[in-house]
Chains A and B, each alone.
Chain A
Amino acid sequence: MSNRLQFYNFTLMPYPFIPPGEDLESSWITIPNSLFDAKVAHRLYTEYLEQLVASEKFGYDGIIVNEHHQNAFGTIAAPNVWGGYLAARTSHIRIGIIGNALPLHQNPLRVAEEIAMLDIISGGRIISGHVRGMGAEYHSSGMDPTRSKGRFWEAHDLILRAWAEDGPFTWQGEHYDIEYANIWPKPVQRPHPPIWMPGTGSTETIEEVAKRRFSYMQTTTSNWITKRSFALFRQICEEKYEYSPAPTQLGRVIPTYVAETDAQAYREFMPHAMWFFRTGLKIPMHHLMPPGYNTSAAMLRTIQGRAAAGVKNFWEMSYDDLIESGHIIVGSPQTVIDKYGQQADEYGLGMAVSAGGHLGAMPNWMVMKNLQLMAEEVMPAFREPDGKPDHLREERAVPYTNAEQAATIPAPKHQPVVRLADGRDLPTALGHIPEVVAGGSTEPPTPAA
């Protein structure tokens, strides 16, 4: 039994208290952080996190955070920190870190360790997204965009090996040279947590994700590009790698707002959608694409493709453009059901990301309304008769209770002991029992002659 469509609440955590996009060169890199007030952000972050936590009770399949730096569009600079918070505040829902920007980190093993820690503490609920980081972030971090792609794939391969294989092993790559790759801890999901990779539709990304049998998440784009990307993904899976992709290998970021009626939804969503596209995504090409981040051939293909398809910059689109092109979905529950249903049938969509939740500068109440209507009026149309998210029908990687753990998890091979002077190994669990420790001295044992 599995559901027809999974629902994810993906929050960027913007800081929307900035001038309109028209007055900004960019909402990235150079926008002065004197505009950021941490006291205001305290309330914002609290609300954003509560919205994610509430998503579990509403019945979402997963909640998602990501990594961006030095911008107003998305202020989660350290998504694994939020992952720890969310793991502590929820118990069953999947938590996606989509993703860690691997090339921006000096040591990929740090990412492997943090995700492993989150996976353990969450009981195996982590989805690990791996991304290069937006081009703009290479300006912000000083990292070299010309080495970004190489570092990304090498870091990814190193992390997966560190998760899946027993160490220590030696890693001698082009970008990372690590004599002892031997992470403590390792993730509880074996061999590793599910991997998602976002993409804008480039053939190269789709090919790599299909090859590795990971999940591909189309970032905010039009229906036309999404449909083409998904078709290409399935084609590569089937023709080149000879398997049929699972529906959960195809996700799409499709900011969705549902309200009582089409007209109500249209009115309520407009300012927030427009803030997102017009101000949050105000990122001119010279910020978005640092030299060397892509090859000139890839850039030529992209720009020619965009010109041929008449693709506009995000901030040049009207609200109706965005709805018509399918960048966003807005409407009554029935409208949303129809559009999701069509994308599931026609495109092969298996995971709706940003399906309800926060966008732009939405007030908390509006986000909660969006989440609740999505859960109660839309989700059931794509669920098995029990209405459950898939994860509630699956075994957790680690049982939730101590009693279940004691009943099902074998004792570790080694019990902690203290070697006594007389050579006996005193089990630490019993070391306080006089009968067990009797006669024992804690002087170092005499080495064998």
Chain B
Amino acid sequence: MTSSAQTMAVDGVTVAYRRGGSGGPVVVLNGHWGSRRWLPLHAALAERSEVIAPELPGFGSSELPDWVKGIDDVLLLVRDALDALGLERVHLVGYGLGGWIASDLAIWFPERVRSLSLLAPYGLRVPGHPLANIFLMNPAGFAEAYGLLDADAALVDGLVPGVGTPADGGMEEWAHRYGEMGAAARLMWQWRYDLALDHRLPRLAERGLPSLVVGGADDRILPAAQVERWAQLLGARTVEIPGGHAFPFTAPRQTAEAVTSFIESVEKVAA
């Protein structure tokens, strides 16, 4: 098991990833924060599976080339990264923006996806229940908005769910996060949702893709109505984890258990 990043060249772009455990394999796509670490969630998943956690373009040590203009470009990059890693079919896990990307990957490259586990995924428009504005939030309100107030300090140390301020980790860290949020903005500033998912997600279910939607019990970033809508469109089961939008960080064990038991059920059926 490893926590330091490896890098590889994919389509001429540096892609960083972390890899650990055996079984699976499970690919975890990051959301807009929490890059550059082997997270407790990764470690917990790696107890039962081989976990590969690439960093999306512009996050962590992965490059953001000019030609990545939208999610479709990221899909090709991720597919080619799977090729480079020799991963034919994977269980996909995605958090937030990474959940959106994971579901698009399942739509466009279904042959590469054994199952889909979405943790508070972005990408839907649910009238009256919009995603909070992750790009405009007072850093003073981060802890409350993301559910970090009661979190085990060791689990969330140094994690900043947005650009924040230079007081969090220094000026270079701040600029790095500004760049990461810019990478997220390139993919989802305009638009914050993809109406085509309303039409496309049910077709995944029709084709028999097993999926799971996991939400935070007190998520103030992604409203519960969005989690329900995802589950409805995918015909998926939902699991609620205690905590706010930060639940994959603050409740890594429970989150990993939900995902792992789902993956095991998928593998059992297949066997």
Contacts and interface: CB of A to CB of B under 8 A. Distances in A.
Contacts of A142: 190
B206 interface: no
Among A293, A300, A307, chain B packs the most CB atoms within 10 A around the CB of: A300
Contact of B138 (A143, A284, A296, A299): A284
Interface in A279-305: 284-287, 289-297, 299-300, 303-304
Interface of A: 25, 29-30, 138-139, 142-146, 284-287, 289-297, 299-300, 303-304, 307
B77 interface: no
B46 to A, nearest CB: 30
B189 A146 contact: yes
Contact of B185 (A29, A30, A287, A290): A290
A290 B135 contact: yes
26 contacts: A25-B138, A29-B136, A139-B133, A139-B136, A142-B190, A144-B185, A286-B136, A286-B137, A286-B139, A286-B162, A287-B136, A290-B135, A290-B136, A291-B163, A291-B178, A291-B185, A291-B189, A292-B181, A292-B183, A292-B185, A293-B182, A296-B175, A296-B176, A297-B175, A299-B175, A299-B178
Contacts of B135: 139, 290-291
Interface stretch (B85-93, B164-172, B224-232, B252-260): B164-172
B7 to A, nearest CB: 19
Interface in B120-167: 133, 135-139, 162-163, 165-166
- Give the contact-size bracket for chain B: 20 to 34
B184 interface: yes
A291 B171 contact: no
Which 4 pairs across A and B sit closest by C-beta, in order of nearness? A296-B179, A291-B181, A292-B182, A300-B175
A307 B190 CA distance: 33
B222 to A, nearest CB: 19
Nearest to B134: A291
Nearest to B171: A303
A227 to B, nearest CB: 25
B165 A285 contact: yes
Given A289-B178, A290-B185, A296-B178, A307 B138 contact: no
Interface of B: 133, 135-139, 162-163, 165-166, 171-172, 174-176, 178-179, 181-186, 189-190
A156 to B, nearest CB: 20
Contacts of A299: 174-175, 178-179
B186 A146 contact: yes
Contacts of B178: 289, 291, 294, 296, 299
Given A144-B185, A297-B175, A303 B166 contact: yes
Contacts of B189: 138, 144-146, 290-292
B61 to A, nearest CB: 13
A296 B171 contact: no
Contacts of B175: 296-297, 299-300, 303
A286 B185 contact: no
A291 B184 contact: yes
A292 B171 contact: no
A290 B189 CA distance: 10
Contacts of B165: 285
B234 to A, nearest CB: 28
Nearest to B175: A300
Contacts of A30: 136
Contacts of B139: 286
Contacts of B162: 286
Contacts of A284: 138
Given A25-B138, A146-B185, A284-B138, 11 more contacts: A144-B186, A286-B136, A286-B137, A286-B138, A291-B163, A291-B182, A292-B186, A296-B175, A300-B175, A303-B166, A303-B171
B259 to A, nearest CB: 29
Among A144, A285, A296, chain B packs the most CB atoms within 10 A around the CB of: A296
A53 B221 CA distance: 49
Contacts of A304: 171
A25 B138 CA distance: 9
A299 B172 CA distance: 9
Nearest to A302: B175
Contacts of A285: 163, 165
A287 B135 CA distance: 9
Nearest to B139: A286
A62 B181 CA distance: 41
Among A146, A289, A290, A303, chain B packs the most CB atoms within 10 A around the CB of: A146
A139 B186 CA distance: 14
B165 to A, nearest CB: 7
Given A289-B178, A290-B136, A295-B179, A144 B190 contact: yes
Contacts of B137: 286
A287 to B, nearest CB: 7
Nearest to B190: A144
A144 B137 CA distance: 17
A302 B190 CA distance: 26
Contacts of A307: 171
A303 B182 contact: no
